[in-house]
Amino acid sequence: MNDYTVFLVFEKKAEKILETAIKEHCWYVSSPQNQEFVNKYLSKNNKDDGKLLSPFVFNENNLEKTFVDIVAEIMDHHNEYTDPPGIKVLDVFGIKTTSNIVKLLENYGFNVLVDRKNGFKAIRSDTYIP
């Protein structure tokens, strides 16, 4: 698993993202819309895909704090010591970077941030090739 990617989805209605992310390790907002999609998907596809799905509840008034808390938990469970080689990419949807988020990610060794319209990608790499 050289490119260990974790999807972190903060969008409440994220069918298109979840459709891609569901086969990877994916943490997603536990909303009725997302849960309905996940349930439908798992009823029609491989139930084992669901082992890598982690719903979470977030405070809409403080996305940054929710992000910090979730990333701390993810990195505690999926770092290079407990789950080698550790996470190489965080693919984040539904939240933008802030100075606090950038600092947190740098502390975890994510040295490349690629912003996009609906989020960003954080990469731990000495040699980043887009």
Phi, psi at 66, each rounded to 5°? -60, -45
Distance (Å, whole) CA 83 – CA 35: 27
* Number of neighbouring beta carbons within 10 Å of residue 62: 11
How big is the chain by its Cα radius of gyration, in Å?
14
Predicted pLDDT of residue 127: 52
HEC-encoded secondary structure of 26-86: EEEECCHHHHHHHHHHHHHCCHHHHHHEEEECCCCCCHHHHHHHHHHHHHHHCCCCCCCCC
The pLDDT of 63-89, averaged and rounded, is 80
Predicted pLDDT of residue 97: 92
Q: Which residues of 36-54 are buried (b: 16+ CB within 10 A; e: fewer)?
A: ebbeebeeeeeeeeeeebb
Predicted pLDDT of residue 105: 93
Distance (Å, whole) CA 98 – CA 92: 13
Predicted pLDDT of residue 8: 75
The pLDDT of 51-76, averaged and rounded, is 82
Q: What is the bridge-based pairing of β-strands 53-56 and 89-93?
A: unpaired
The pLDDT of 105-118, averaged and rounded, is 91
